[in-house]
Amino acid sequence: MQSNRFKFYLLCFGVCFFLFVLNITSGYADEFKVAGSKEGPGDPAVSEFSESDDFEAFDEFNEFEDTQSADIYDPLSGYNRFMTGFNDHFYVLLFRPVAKGYRFIVMKPVRQAIDRAFDNVTYPARFVNNLLQLKVKRAGIETARFFLNTTWGIAGLFDPAKNYMGMEAYPEDFGQTLGHYGAGNGFPIVLPFAGPSNLRDLIGYAPDMYMNPITYVRDVKVSFAVGVVEHFNALSLYLDEYDAMRAEAIDLYILQRDVYEMRRKKMIEE
């Protein structure tokens, strides 16, 4: 309960911070319009590409290169540009150096195993959202995957369900469930530290959070530490892909917004 209370206070603070920043940034959007734009061949941010072969989260960028931005309703564009610049500065000054240090210390197979274990823990949300979308077979496969990977795969560190049984994962979240039943995107919202989202997915975050077992860890310090490890472990796996996107972006906010919306649309359609 203490952990839930802490997260409630954090959410209230985030809403207040959001409203405050929205108020002060209406006249300063242009200052951050080109934050994270192309940095040239000498940019150290993209000098290393050692881990991009095995991850597909950013593979879809190429198919968007020649696609012009749709006419997206974006009433918070001033705030969104400001927050994109804010997040980008935090990434350059803090997140990227820490993630690179973590990547240097922890071997790639270990980080992949940790990522699989965190993914395994979120089984309840995937199961419920598959059921809510009447994808009963997929919900059954997710259940089988969970039990196989939790036991044979040692708490999800390995994925024998896929590697030996051919069971592919079917990740679904509540934002996808809302989209499945026709809920529109609403409008883009860039979240502090978390990056691009939209109104529908922000609403969907709450049910998913309460279906995540980590939410119920009572010790606030332990819960926070687990969240930090999860974030930086995932970031270390996709660091090179994000750096490549960031270096090529003429307008980082527009690129992130459009890629996010198109990727979510594809996930909902699947």
CA-CA distance, 38 to 208, in Å (whole number)?
35
Distances (CA, A) of 20 to 24, 61, 149, 163, 191: 7, 33, 44, 49, 13
> Do residues 183 and 200 touch, judged by C-beta distance below 8 A?
yes
Residue 53 belongs to some domain of the structure = no
User: pTM of the predicted model, to two decimals?
Assistant: 0.73
Residue-wise DSSP of 28-51:
-GGGGTTTT----TT-GGGS--SS
Residue 42 belongs to some domain of the structure = no
CA-CA distance, 182 to 180, in Å (whole number)?
6
Dihedral, 113, 119, 121, 122 alpha carbons, nearest 10: 180
CA-CA distance, 80 to 96, in Å (whole number)?
21
pLDDT at residue number 159 = 97
Q: Among residues 255, 226, 237, 222, which one has the least CA distance to residue 81?
A: 255
The 3-state DSSP composition of the chain as helix, strand, coil percent (nearest 5) reads: 65, 5, 30
Residue 62 belongs to some domain of the structure = no
CA-CA distance, 166 to 159, in Å (whole number)?
10
Residue 43 belongs to some domain of the structure = no
Residue 30 belongs to some domain of the structure = no
Per-residue pLDDT tens digits of the chain, which is 270 residues long = 444 444 544 454 454 444 444 443 333 333 433 344 444 333 433 334 344 444 444 444 444 444 445 578 999 999 999 999 999 999 999 999 999 999 999 999 999 999 999 999 999 999 999 999 999 999 999 999 999 999 999 999 999 999 999 999 999 999 999 999 999 999 999 999 999 999 999 999 999 999 999 888 888 889 889 989 999 999 999 999 999 988 989 999 999 999 999 999 999 998
Structure tokens at 55: 């991850």
pLDDT at residue number 218 = 85
Residue 57 belongs to some domain of the structure = no
Phi and psi at residue 96, to the nearest 5°: -65, -45
Q: How is residue 214 annotated by DSSP? A: G
Residue ranges making up the domain that contains 118: 2-25+75-269
- Which amino acid, one-letter code, is at 9? Y
pLDDT at residue number 28 = 38
Q: What angle is formed at CA 159 by the lines to CA 177 and CA 263, rounded to 5 degrees?
A: 35
Residue 235 belongs to some domain of the structure = yes
**Total structural domains within the chain:** 1
Residue 70 belongs to some domain of the structure = no
CA atoms within 13 A on the CB side of 24: 7
